């Protein structure tokens, strides 16, 4: 592929390579330029990324409107992936001009409808959101539904779905044992946890051994929040906090220094939020700093898409 392609598909692929630093040195400005050329030739996915990069694209709202129009047209033609992408577009943190309620409602509807139409990415997304629950996006925590949708994605051969399904089965098994949010059912608990153990879910084998020995497994754990960020943005489930949670789990937790930082953070931050969380100066002081961190993480490939750390 040349450095100055005229073909719209090649412009999009090369633009994404520069934007993400995959196969090319990372060059966001060059990536945006190539994506713009592709978008001008009606490549909806190029419009999608231009709309999402509101931090680099002055006319991101215009590209958002054009992407919505194109994806809506494709979705009406039966393209479930276009419908899913439309939902993802409404998730974007830069789409605040829409209003939270409108964006949330549109994202919810598009994603669920795409899942119903067989889009594996949407099924995986809905499954993950049901597993964790997301008040920000209108999804209630529902482990039964999570298992249903993740099973649908698994049936299509999605490797990520297999792992997510095993994790959801473990959650459902533990909750079924204790009757936490679902009917108490020891038989179902054993079956679900056995499935999770067979797929290598951490803690599942021990839980199964305890149940078989007549001992209770470890009870359901409560999610550990990004306390300061949640206080600043007003929600545990929003793009900025998803980015930080994903970075914590995928990067920080893999090194001893990162794990030490996590322990210190979770020891100190709840008290800080308790003491100062209601003060305007606290939010005003923290938000610009966290905004910069989130932008840097997202620019380095840490996604702000919905994330489950259950």
Each residue's pLDDT tens digit, 199-228: 988 889 999 999 999 999 988 765 556 778
CA distance 19 to 284: 31
The answer as to whether 308 is a domain residue is no
57, 84, 119 — which closes off a domain?
A: 119
For residue 139, give the 3-state DSSP assignment.
Answer: strand
Do 108 and 17 lie in a common domain? yes
Query: Which pLDDT does position 309 carry in this prediction?
Result: 62
221, 247, 270 — which closes off a domain?
A: 221
Do 16 and 114 lie in a common domain? yes
Do 185 and 288 lie in a common domain? no
Give the residue ranges of DSSP H helices in the chain: 8-20, 28-39, 44-52, 60-76, 80-91, 100-116, 120-132, 143-155, 159-178, 186-198, 204-212, 227-233, 239-250, 256-276, 280-299
The answer as to whether 307 is a domain residue is no
The answer as to whether 202 is a domain residue is yes
Could you give the number of structural domains in the chain? 3
Query: Which pLDDT does position 221 carry in this prediction?
Result: 61
The answer as to whether 25 is a domain residue is yes
Do 151 and 81 lie in a common domain? no
150 token code pair:
């993740």
Select the more confidently predicted residue: 226 or 31.
31
Work out the mean pLDDT of the chain and round it to a whole number.
84
Do 213 and 266 lie in a common domain? no
The answer as to whether 2 is a domain residue is no
Task: Determine the distance from the C-alpha atom of residue 288 to the mean position of all C-alpha atoms in its chain, rounded to a whole number.
Answer: 23
Do 131 and 112 lie in a common domain? no
30-54: average pLDDT? 90
Do 41 and 25 lie in a common domain? yes
Q: Are 248 and 294 in contact (CB under 8 A)?
A: no
Do 291 and 243 lie in a common domain? yes
Select the more confidently predicted residue: 10 or 21.
10
Do 217 and 231 lie in a common domain? no
Of 263, 224, 259, 271, the C-alpha closest to 245 is: 224
Residue 256 has pLDDT above 70, yes or no: no
182, 205, 221 — which closes off a domain?
A: 221
Query: Which pLDDT does position 137 carry in this prediction?
Result: 64
Residue 78 has pLDDT above 80, yes or no: yes
CA distance 97 to 194: 47
Residue 87 has pLDDT above 70, yes or no: yes
Do 231 and 294 lie in a common domain? yes
Residue span of the structural domain in which 184 resides: 120-221
Distances (CA, A) of 29 to 9, 26, 33, 80: 18, 9, 6, 31
Query: Which pLDDT does position 175 carry in this prediction?
Result: 93
Largest CA distance in the chain: 68
Task: Determine the distance from the C-alpha atom of residue 45 to the mean position of all C-alpha atoms in its chain, rounded to a whole number.
Answer: 19
Rounded to 5°, the CA angle 157-136-86 comes to 55
Do 163 and 134 lie in a common domain? yes
105-120: average pLDDT? 91
Do 92 and 141 lie in a common domain? no
φ, ψ of residue 93 to 5 degrees: the values are -65, -20
φ, ψ of residue 139 to 5 degrees: the values are -105, 125
């Amino acid at each position: 592929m040349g450095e100055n392609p005229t073909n719209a598909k090649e412009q999009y692929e090369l633009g994404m390579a520069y934007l993400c630093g995959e196969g090319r040195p990372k060059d966001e400005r060059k990536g945006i330029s190539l994506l713009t050329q592709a978008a001008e030739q009606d490549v909806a996915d190029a419009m999608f990324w231009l709309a999402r990069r509101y931090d680099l694209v002055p006319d991101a709202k215009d590209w958002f409107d054009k992407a919505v129009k194109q994806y809506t047209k494709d979705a009406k033609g039966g393209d479930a992936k276009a419908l899913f992408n439309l939902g993802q577009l409404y998730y974007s943190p830069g789409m605040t001009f829409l209003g939270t309620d409108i964006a949330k409602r549109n994202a919810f509807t598009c994603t669920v409808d795409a899942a119903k139409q067989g889009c594996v990415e949407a099924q995986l997304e809905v499954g993950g959101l049901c597993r964790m629950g997301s008040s920000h996006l209108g999804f209630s925590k529902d482990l039964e539904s999570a298992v249903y949708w993740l099973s649908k994605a698994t049936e299509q051969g999605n490797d990520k779905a297999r792992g997510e399904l095993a994790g959801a089965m473990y959650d459902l098994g533990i909750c079924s044992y204790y009757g936490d949010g679902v009917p108490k059912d020891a038989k179902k608990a054993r079956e679900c946890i056995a499935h999770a153990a067979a797929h290598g879910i951490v803690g599942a084998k021990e839980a199964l051994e305890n149940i078989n020995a007549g001992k209770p497994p470890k009870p359901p754990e409560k999610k550990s929040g990004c306390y300061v960020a949640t206080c600043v943005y007003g929600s545990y489930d929003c793009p900025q906090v998803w980015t930080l949670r994903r970075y914590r789990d995928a990067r920080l937790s893999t090194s001893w220094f990162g794990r030490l930082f996590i322990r210190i953070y979770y020891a100190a931050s709840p008290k800080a939020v308790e003491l100062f969380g209601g003060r305007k100066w606290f939010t005003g002081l923290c938000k610009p700093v966290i905004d910069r961190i989130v932008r840097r993480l997202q620019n380095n490939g840490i996604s702000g898409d919905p994330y489950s750390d259950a």
